[in-house]
Amino acid sequence: MAVARIDLKALRFNLDRIRELAPGMRVMAVVKADGYGHGLERVARALAAADAFGVAAIADGLRLRAAGHHNRIVVLSGPDSAADLSEMHRLRLEAVIHHPQQLIWLQEDRGTPQLRVWLKIDTGMHRLGFPPERAQSVYRQLQAMSSVHPEIVVCTHFAASDEFNNPLTRQQIETFTQVTGGWSGEQSLANSAAFLGWPEARKGWLRIGGLLYGLTVAAGHTGEEYGFRPAMRLHTRLLAVNQIGKGERIGYAASWVCPENMPVGVAAIGYGDGYPRAAPSGTPVRVAGVEVPLIGRVSMDLITLDLRAVPDARIGDEVLLWGPELPVERIAEQVGSIAYELTCGVTRRVLAVENGR
């Protein structure tokens, strides 16, 4: 059985490191997508010192309240319908407001207590948010609504903050600054990537997701390079060690040919567990502490490994797919993805075990 060991101490360490690097800033711990695949409730318990939690859905807010958390909780896409507002009032959730239809629902809302809102301005990503020319009028409109808490946070989202030389991020920061100049409300610009590459975006509220899990999406880099600790260690065991002859083919589609007589390992993990099917031959895996290449296609339950570097490998030896000794960013690069997708993709079939309570 595949096991994902979640290091709670690493989560707390990473939150402390954010505070160390940005003293005086408020930290929203983004725990959407089941805590980036690490488990919503366990992540929230480890990060209880955060100033707020960021979630993608009201259902996640319900889970956090049911687990006893009293932190501020921000629904990052806001209400999807007028009916959502009553649940947000009941659970004391906060809403990111980004669309004119949401203003109509808020205008008609009579719920209590007052709803805390985050006004999103589209400074260049063109996904969610009000255009800059409308931002001031929307801000005043929200201030005038009796159902809205008077303390409004103004935010934006960057399109390319993981590209530290891309001028778009600086343009977005300048647009945001021009639009909000003179406003009294709190601000939120930086996500994890912007936190690393754009210090001028560290204002007010920091919305930190990947870095809390020790992950980065900066190409060619790992979270550890920036002083953060990976919180997930995904591993399994060797099920078999087979001696395969020169010229024999391995796995589905017989896509990999043995260049010599060699030992081939079979490990108990596959795309049914969330290990990426797109991982090509040569993707690094560690067997008994030694790095070896994956060979052949990833199947639903199994992978095959070139064990020539560990000729003494035996059934039951540990197989590490990613973790502190093998950064998940390296695997993501092999499959043309990002670390976030890989950790979020770990399925319920994998046994989650907590370390460092």
> What's the Rg (C-alpha) of the chain?
23
Task: For residue 271, indicate whether it is catalytic.
Answer: no
Task: For residue 246, indicate whether it is catalytic.
Answer: no
From the list 32, 36, 120, 271, the catalytic residue is: 32
From the list 120, 213, 252, 271, the catalytic residue is: 252
**Nearest in space to 218 (alpha carbons), one of 191, 190, 197:** 197
As beta bridge partners, residue 154 has 119, 187
Which amino acids are annotated catalytic? 32, 252
